[in-house]
Amino acid sequence: MQSTGYKVNEMFETIQGEGHFTGVPAVFIRLQICQVGCSWCDTKQTWQAEATDQRSFGEIIVKQGDSPTWTQASAQEIVAMYQQQGYSARHIVITGGEPCEYDLSDLCHAFEAMGCVCQIETSGTSEVRVSDATWVTLSPKIAMKGKKQVLVSALQRADEIKHPVATQHHIDQLDQLISDIVLKPDVVMALQPISQKPRATQLCIDTCIERNWRLSVQTHKYLSIA
């Protein structure tokens, strides 16, 4: 667990492209470091935090494209950068990497004090430390290369369980994972195709209809936006 500030890979304003808040204007704060090791990860540049990749916040805020560069910043410095950039979105998405490598309480409280709403996107493999009001989106990563277990406490805290699916095996894994766990009574259950391949998408559609769950489509990939 990281304890001194936050290692920020990038920060930008866009539209939330997936899950419960699809279509909502949002500021994304992507944090560096992840030990999960998902084979299909599209942000592998965030896995490590090499000292040679450290930059100023000014360089990070303007960078284009994926890179492993990062900056060290406190909650107050991140909020100050949000204000300096003149962002209008009041929905803050803290992602990664694996954001729960950090205690996120200070960062969430700092944004909430400004009237913003915070959401985190986590694998559930690290303890979730956020404000009570933070919306926790958990995409359980099961049997990944990093061999980290999805925590029961993270599943119980989740407001939304958004599960990546390519085959029936992934749905079976989810069923097994939550079979003996008491989730929040109003938790949003969503299936998200790992790829844009028709077979995976149709499997998710059929299962969501059968179970009255929600389909999460990565609309940002179809729209070619960040």
Q: Distance (Å, rounded) from C-alpha 203 to C-alpha 109?
A: 39
Residue 164 known to bind ligand: no
CB 225 within 8 A of CB 197: no
Residue 118 known to bind ligand: no
Q: Distance (Å, rounded) from C-alpha 103 to C-alpha 120?
A: 12
Residue 219 known to bind ligand: no
Residue 139 known to bind ligand: yes
Position 84: which residue type? Answer: Q
Structure-token pair, residue 109: 């409280």
Residue 225 known to bind ligand: no
Q: Distance (Å, rounded) from C-alpha 132 to C-alpha 153?
A: 14
Cis before 97 (ω within 30): yes
Q: Distance (Å, rounded) from C-alpha 112 to C-alpha 137?
A: 18
Residue 43 known to bind ligand: yes
Q: Distance (Å, rounded) from C-alpha 73 to C-alpha 91?
A: 20
Residue 156 known to bind ligand: no
CB 144 within 8 A of CB 177: no
Residue 14 known to bind ligand: no
Residue 15 known to bind ligand: yes
Residue 179 known to bind ligand: no
96: CB partners within 8 A, 6+ apart = 9, 30, 31, 32, 33, 34, 43, 46, 121, 122
Q: Which residues pair with 2 in a beta bridge?
A: 102
Residue 25 known to bind ligand: no
Place of tokens 């994304």: 28
Please report, in range form, the residues annotated as the binding site for substrate.
Answer: 15-17, 30, 95
Please report, in range form, the residues annotated as the binding site for Mg(2+).
Answer: 43
Please report, in range form, the residues annotated as the binding site for S-adenosyl-L-methionine.
Answer: 40-42, 97, 139-141
Please report, in range form, the residues annotated as the binding site.
Answer: 15-17, 30, 34, 38, 40-43, 95, 97, 139-141
Please report, in range form, the residues annotated as the binding site for [4Fe-4S] cluster.
Answer: 34, 38, 41
